[in-house]
Chain A
Amino acid sequence: GQQVMQIPQYQHVQEGEDFTTYCNSSTTLSNIQWYKQRPGGHPVFLIQLVKSGEVKKQKRLTFQFGEAKKNSSLHITATQTTDVGTYFCAGRAGGYNKLIFGAGTRLAVHP
């Protein structure tokens, strides 16, 4: 079945350093979404990418969707302590029904 692999599982950075998490799918995706979950909280939708090679920015966050629509990345420039949490990608392969989540990357930011 469809799988979405996400790496790294955990990343520990100093405040001000950059951070990147990567997602790879075993199948071509129709779109990919990214979520952030703060400790003790619920996932919060960040963005959706649909087009091959798409790049979107939200302030210090840059999201990319690969040309083959099988991989994606989230890059945070100059991390802040407010960036702490777990970032999940979620891919949809054809149809509207199933959204497959990656296992998440837990980001710790030390001041």
Chain B
Amino acid sequence: EAQVTQNPRYLITVTGKKLTVTCSQNMNHEYMSWYRQDPGLGLRQIYYSMNVEVTDKGDVPEGYKVSRKEKRNFPLILESPSPNQTSLYFCASTAGSTDTQYFGPGTRLTVL
């Protein structure tokens, strides 16, 4: 089954404790993105990657890092999380032929 998976689905952590949210897709898509969703603000792109070893900033990259060492994986790294990074995070991958974007199930992060 074609899908985007994220882990963990829920995470409560404390300020300053480094964390990684994993994202994996099995559709061989080149383009992947990370979004955060906050009430009233819709989805805002954090980082995107057009292929292995090619990443770029989205609209709200501050406080986040990403890496793309393999096509299927696109982890999101918070080196020193702060409470303003409490949010719902979605990973997505895009089929280049149709521009259809497939979202993962989401990771709800709370930073205390």
Contact = CB atoms under 8 A, between A and B. Distances in A.
- A and B: real partners? yes
B90 A98 contact: no
B34 interface: no
Interface in B54-112: 56, 58-59, 90, 98-106
A98 B59 contact: yes
A105 B45 CA distance: 19
B99 A31 contact: yes
B42 A97 contact: no
Interface string B19-55: 0000000000001010100001111110010100000
A96 B96 CA distance: 10
Interface string A16-55: 0000000000000001010100000111110010000000
Given A88-B42, A103-B40, A97 B100 contact: no
Contact of B105 (A1, A33, A42): A42
A99 B106 contact: no
A97 B94 CA distance: 11
Contacts of B102: 45
A102 interface: yes
A14 to B, nearest CB: 25
A104 B42 contact: yes
A101 interface: yes
Contact of A98 (B43, B45, B99): B45
A33 B99 contact: yes
A75 to B, nearest CB: 20
Would you list the 7 A-B pairs with minimal beta carbon distance, nearest first? A103-B42, A101-B42, A101-B43, A42-B103, A43-B103, A45-B100, A104-B42
11 contacts: A1-B59, A31-B99, A33-B101, A41-B105, A42-B103, A43-B43, A45-B102, A97-B50, A97-B56, A98-B48, A103-B42
Interface of A: 1, 6, 9, 31, 33, 35, 41-45, 48, 88, 90, 96-104
Interface of B: 31, 33, 35, 40-45, 48, 50, 56, 58-59, 90, 98-106
